[in-house]
Structure 1
Amino acid sequence: MIWNTNKECMSREQMRELQGKRLQKLVTYVYHNVPFYRSRMQEMDLSPDDIRTIDDIVKLPFTTKQDLRDNYPYGLQAAPPSEIVRVHASSGTTGNPTIVGYTRRDLSIWSEVMSRCLSAYGVTRDDTFSVSYGYGLFTGGLGAHYGVENLGATVIPASTGNTEKHVRLIRDLHITGIACTPSYALYLAEVVEKMGIKKEELGLRIGAFGAEPWTENMRQEIQERLGLKGYNIYGLSEIMGPGVSYECQEQHGSHINEDHFFPEIIDPETLEPLPYGKTGELVFTTLTKEGMPLLRYRTKDLTSLMDGECPCGRTNVRMTPIMGRSDDMLIIRGINVFPSQVESVILGMKEFEPQYLLVVDRVNNLDTLQVQVEVRKDFFTDDMGAMLNLKKTLSDKLKSVLSISADVKLMEPNSIVRSQGKSKRVWDKRVLV
């Protein structure tokens, strides 16, 4: 089902014309209402009149997370305080949080784009949907919540925690859909199995998973253990929250709501734009946001863009799965390593649970990488020879993918701490030195 055919199936010419008009209006708006952007544009000898089409976006300055922190709390807010009806903040743990204000129109647009996402997954008014992202300053919970309500389905604001009670609610209330992080979905599956409940008793059919990178192998694991079809949802609090892009039932790239969020891919080193199909850093401009609009915001997420009409009928540009973050990328002995690469190898082996931790250290001026991974109960044994063979098999596969050697440490079942929110997959001890 397509929620908004006019916008999701618009021709490329119509979309670019709409984006150009909205960009012109946006630039004039921030120039007159945000001193930060006015100063940046004046330094570049730019005026709003210089922006006439969407192609002119490359003339505009970039915005970074540091810019938001430097202007904490409300320095980048464009709307007057009297028009801000809600405030969210990023889930970051270092420095000032990024404070994002929303006008009533912003919230209406957010509900609209979330309804597009849910419709693409096959959610209808007849579904009951559990929102298991955190409620509060994090955008996930409330963003998904109002999208479900706007679509007309029943929402269960479960949030996180008390997972056994949540499982009983899923069964007893005939909940058909769930929105949460992929790592929480796996934890939920573990609890279901420990409670002796069969996945068929739950009746789940749709999962909206996001807020952290996940692999295709992880998707298959979740789908098999919970008996649902899992879809990617993407967003970030600085831009709006969940609903910036979404998979359809084709599951071949995530459609970007580009009438509201204009995407670019840039080389993170040179900052030069990259063409469709090339992997680089994702950049967004919020074309319609009133509270805190952003020009060319550098997300640090690494992906590529796909053009062409999708078999589902939508024409919006799609983005490939996030392969990592340019600022979270590990450089180990000169090699670029992404946690998603390690995860893909681990989930491709039936002997392991999807629970792992990368420990990076520096010993005698040499970087080291240890991969701690949990062995499934059925494969964990006192047979030292069997465990050594399993360790060697994983080590060899990791080396072929990463191009560096990793010290594999096999962990007992249930020994790695579970996450009910964003998972912590990397411990880089080098930054503590």
Structure 2
Amino acid sequence: MEPLFEFQGWIKKAYRQGPIFGRYLKRLEESAQFSAEKLKRLQNRQLQKMVHHCYRNIPYYQDLFRQLKLTPAHIKTIDDLEKLPFMEKKIVNENYDKLIARRRKNILCRLGSTSGSTGTPAKFFRDYGSINFENAVVWRHWRNAGDFGKKRITLRGDSIVPASQNEPPFWKYNRANQELLMSGYHLSLANSASYIEEILRFQPEILYCYPSTAYLLAKFFQQQKVPYRFDAIFTSSESLEPHVRAYIEDVFESRIYDWYGQAERVVAICQCKAGGYHIQDDYSVVELKDSAYGQELVGTHLNNFVMPLLRYRTYDYVSPRTEACPCGSAFRLVDRILGRNYSYILTPEGYRISITNHIPRGVENLLETQFYQEKPGELIVNVLTNGHFSETDRALLVRNTLEHTSPQMNVIVNEVQGIPRGPNGKFISIINKLEVMN
């Protein structure tokens, strides 16, 4: 065990499960039992508090309210939010400093970032309370599925070991959470035996993963005819297609509990034991706006007071359900979440990279980034820029791509005038002509 890694694990746990975490979790377990009417009263109460805060402390909203000739008295309920315009990532980037409450910014705040589905980087401050609240909502999701802190493996997009490492171990143990963090990057046919051997040694009860990594892991277990059963599997960050779900659940004899969220943390949707996808109506205010592609999720913060977002467009879509869920929850139901389909970048070593959000981070002057592959060992990075994209920016993008894919990859940066959308209007971050997951 690396002492620094273990120390960081304990510090992270102490921070995310601070003194207010328990109070949030207790409160959330109570509000999960509320009626629809009681939930709406709760939302309206918290919304009024947030609007007053924005009016008094956030320069961007002070200017906006002045321009619209509004005061907090004009926004008392969820329905009144229609008086405000939508917020989106471009507005955040252009008004970043004006969206921060200076009195709330302190050493306990943390900076989150994402490139989102468009490959456009953005930064978001989160205060200590909102981080503990987010963690409490996730814990409620886990506990509803029977996970009260069981041993788990986490197989996502985190950089666990260097990409250049060719020999196991491709994992590290986080003692603070009884969690084996495994590198999703190194999960390949060549390394599959070592992954399976370590999982059998560790005997995890929970799998926390992307759908794509869980699917690949299940493929390897089935190919090697090794039986294994998890108590529960938690997926997030990608669309969970029905055939992928069925395959994973069949191989691991386990139920998947899916989760939808974003770095902006304006909407949370999670799956209950009865299989329903529930908007977590005590997490934020979520508006469902009609569009040609389904109903768009538009979210409003109720808990992040350092950088609150009101009416933030996610550009993700759902198809709603009107019937009640057998689980009895009053949280609204959606049938499915649209637009988070995934593909792979294939590296020369045979590794599959499905999450690319971190690659454009830190690169200036990018508007959109798309990864296109049609030749083995070659990756074309299509970039839409603001016209000021420099050779320094290009070099950093190439370096980031090599670091998070493969040092052996031939990376070609191609400036374009526009990047076409997919058939549902959503941006496609990875196009792979070499292989399609089946």
TM-score (norm 2): 0.63
For 2:51, the equivalent position in structure 1 comes to 27
- Identify if the C-alpha distance between structure 1 residues 83 and 38 changes in structure 2 by more than 3 Å, giving closer, same or farther: farther
For 2:216, the equivalent position in structure 1 comes to 187
Are positions 1:161 and 2:185 aligned together?
A: yes
Amino acid aligned to 2:78: I
Contact 1:120-1:247 at 8 Å conserved across structures? no
Are positions 1:65 and 2:94 aligned together?
A: no
For 1:215, the equivalent position in structure 2 comes to 241
| Deviation string, structure 1 residues 316-339 (Cα, Å, up to 9, x no partner) | 1122311227xxxxxxxxxxxxx6
Contact 2:294-2:318 at 8 Å conserved across structures? yes
For 2:367, the equivalent position in structure 1 comes to none
For 2:284, the equivalent position in structure 1 comes to 261
Number of positions where the alignment pairs a residue of Structure 1 with one of Structure 2: 312
Amino acid aligned to 2:239: P
Amino acid aligned to 1:115: W
Supply the distance in 2 between the matched residues of 1:220 and 1:182 (Cα, whole angstroms). 11
For 1:302, the equivalent position in structure 2 comes to 317
For 2:141, the equivalent position in structure 1 comes to 117
What is the deviation of 1:123? 1.5
* 3-state SS in 1 of match to 2:285: strand
Contact 1:12-1:315 at 8 Å conserved across structures? yes
| Deviation string, structure 1 residues 9-57 (Cα, Å, up to 9, x no partner) | 1011211111111111111111222222222222222111111122212
* 3-state SS in 2 of match to 1:294: coil
* 3-state SS in 2 of match to 1:302: strand
Contact 1:22-1:287 at 8 Å conserved across structures? yes
Contact 2:279-2:332 at 8 Å conserved across structures? yes
For 1:426, the equivalent position in structure 2 comes to 431
- Identify if the C-alpha distance between structure 1 residues 263 and 220 changes in structure 2 by more than 3 Å, giving closer, same or farther: same
Amino acid aligned to 1:214: L
Supply the distance in 1 between the matched residues of 2:323 and 2:54 (Cα, whole angstroms). 32
What is the deviation of 1:251? 0.8
What is the deviation of 1:425? 5.0
Are positions 1:320 and 2:335 aligned together?
A: yes
For 2:415, the equivalent position in structure 1 comes to none
Amino acid aligned to 1:288: N
| Bigger Cα displacement from structure 2, 28-37 vs 160-169 | 160-169
What is the deviation of 1:192? 2.9
- Identify if the C-alpha distance between structure 1 residues 173 and 104 changes in structure 2 by more than 3 Å, giving closer, same or farther: same
Contact 2:110-2:126 at 8 Å conserved across structures? yes
For 1:420, the equivalent position in structure 2 comes to none
Amino acid aligned to 2:290: D
For 2:303, the equivalent position in structure 1 comes to 288
- Identify if the C-alpha distance between structure 1 residues 186 and 96 changes in structure 2 by more than 3 Å, giving closer, same or farther: closer
Alignment match of 1:246 (pick from 265, 270, 281): 270
- Identify if the C-alpha distance between structure 1 residues 288 and 308 changes in structure 2 by more than 3 Å, giving closer, same or farther: farther
- Identify if the C-alpha distance between structure 1 residues 262 and 91 changes in structure 2 by more than 3 Å, giving closer, same or farther: same
* 3-state SS in 2 of match to 1:23: helix
Contact 2:320-2:336 at 8 Å conserved across structures? no
Supply the distance in 2 between the matched residues of 1:154 and 1:246 (Cα, whole angstroms). 23
Supply the distance in 1 between the matched residues of 2:431 and 2:145 (Cα, whole angstroms). 31
For 1:311, the equivalent position in structure 2 comes to 326
Alignment match of 1:205 (pick from 220, 231, 238): 231
Supply the distance in 1 between the matched residues of 2:297 and 2:255 (Cα, whole angstroms). 27
For 1:37, the equivalent position in structure 2 comes to 61
Amino acid aligned to 2:233: G
Supply the distance in 2 between the matched residues of 1:210 and 1:67 (Cα, whole angstroms). 26
Percent sequence identity is 26
Contact 2:156-2:213 at 8 Å conserved across structures? no
Amino acid aligned to 1:293: P
For 2:79, the equivalent position in structure 1 comes to 55
Q: Which structure ranks higher in relative contact order (CA pairs < 8 Å, sequence separation ≥ 6)? A: 2
Structure 1, unaligned stretches of length 5 or more?
137-147, 270-277, 326-338, 343-354, 357-371, 373-416, 418-422, 429-433
Are positions 1:86 and 2:110 aligned together?
A: yes
| Deviation string, structure 1 residues 116-169 (Cα, Å, up to 9, x no partner) | 1112322234x2122222347xxxxxxxxxxx99xx973333353333444333
Supply the distance in 2 between the matched residues of 1:153 and 1:84 (Cα, whole angstroms). 21
* 3-state SS in 2 of match to 1:249: coil
Amino acid aligned to 1:281: E
Amino acid aligned to 1:17: R
Structure 2, unaligned stretches of length 5 or more?
1-24, 160-173, 344-352, 355-373, 375-408, 410-427, 434-438
What is the deviation of 1:285? 0.8
The Cα RMSD (Å) is 3.6
* 3-state SS in 1 of match to 2:125: strand
What is the deviation of 1:89? 0.6
Amino acid aligned to 1:245: I
TM-score (norm 1): 0.63
* 3-state SS in 1 of match to 2:310: coil
Contact 1:234-1:246 at 8 Å conserved across structures? yes
What is the deviation of 1:60? 2.1
For 2:251, the equivalent position in structure 1 comes to 225
Contact 2:105-2:127 at 8 Å conserved across structures? no
* 3-state SS in 2 of match to 1:322: strand
Supply the distance in 1 between the matched residues of 2:110 and 2:195 (Cα, whole angstroms). 28
| Deviation string, structure 1 residues 199-223 (Cα, Å, up to 9, x no partner) | x2x3323211121122212211221
* 3-state SS in 2 of match to 1:52: coil
Supply the distance in 2 between the matched residues of 1:34 and 1:130 (Cα, whole angstroms). 40
